[in-house]
Chain A
């Protein structure tokens, strides 16, 4: 018995509601974030990730209250991401009850940000979120994209993951999302997951593309992920977290039951 692989349901929250769309369009409502988080906690989720996709400042206050409300009722780790740009944003989310904070595009415009945040808050609570898209099949190559996959940065995804996690002041975890697979339900980009997982020393969460329970096991067994994140297969009642864990255990993966 050793460390369990983690299953992390993800709540994409916009204007106070859990939503899910296919590659950020055709958004569907999936309920109240606090209720949804409690349901996943009851089902045995190992962590919860809360991604705020609200653009407005008013929405930001709503998010803080929701994080507080979830943290009062759910006693498993809670990661919050979306719109985190500076130390004060991290402080506000930690004070609201988040355990980890995910930083995405702000790290691209300010590459020193991750080191600054880790120095102040500790690597254990800083997650580097990476949205990657394949740009070449031979050799395999992925680059970082922003704005829901519309804008390229020209930065190599694997090199970026290493740069953001190395040293004592690097991020403590990578949340790796394939923009090609997100919402498509055909499984993770396993080559991408494997390339990043092999390159970095910290745990990697695979994200983007889960459409059935076998995909979760593939992320661990073939992708080398330490944790697997999924949203829509859980939101709309296709599968419970408990069923996902049973399926992974049948494939020989150690999980927390």
Chain B
């Protein structure tokens, strides 16, 4: 049995993430926690996040979780979801400019208006831009559910694992060593989403 820690710093609906992980991994210990020690001792980390980037950074600081996130992101299988992808970057345009965790080099940018509805909300296609164990048994261009107004722009194109088009092509998944992070919500993306979570809990990292 392995332990999977879902980082709960009070931002957004982490219950959905917990229910989905428990569903795909019924024999593992799934912990919803803001305890740095429990996170540090877990075998795998899921790092979700919803709402605004400024509030998320504030909450991570208030819960004393910045250091443990930074170390875990380099040490064990680590899955970022939604804001949990954006927070890994250097800087976001949101909230008049917010610094992120600077684990990944790059910025978080607001979608251009282009007569499109913002937030980008709903089921869009995800194009695989690299082979990766987390795409196992998931078709190229399968649809995943997203809801976001900002997207990530990485400095290093070699970490892009998936892209989506919404007026522009943007990066919706990145992969680097033991890290994988997605803009969409696998916990809300039915069969393909559950497959991605299954791939994560089985991933060597």
Contact = CB atoms under 8 A, between A and B. Distances in A.
A3 B141 contact: no
A6 B122 contact: yes
A168 B121 CA distance: 16
Q: How large is the interface on B (under 10, 10 to 19, 20 to 34, 35 or more residues)?
A: 35 or more
A94 B190 CA distance: 19
Contacts of A97: 13, 15-16, 19
B13 to A, nearest CB: 5
Interface in A193-209: 201-204
Contact of A77 (B20, B50, B145): B145
Contacts of A99: 13, 16, 188
Most buried by A among B12, B23, B120: B12
Interface in A1-37: 1-6
A226 B121 contact: yes
Nearest to B143: A256
Given A2-B166, A75-B20, A94-B15, A227 B122 contact: yes
A184 interface: no
B51 interface: yes
Contacts, number: 103
B204 interface: no
Interface in B170-199: 185, 187-190, 193-194
B129 to A, nearest CB: 15
A203 B51 CA distance: 17
Interface of B: 11-13, 15-16, 19-20, 23, 50-52, 55, 95, 113, 117-125, 141, 143, 145, 147-149, 165-166, 185, 187-190, 193-194
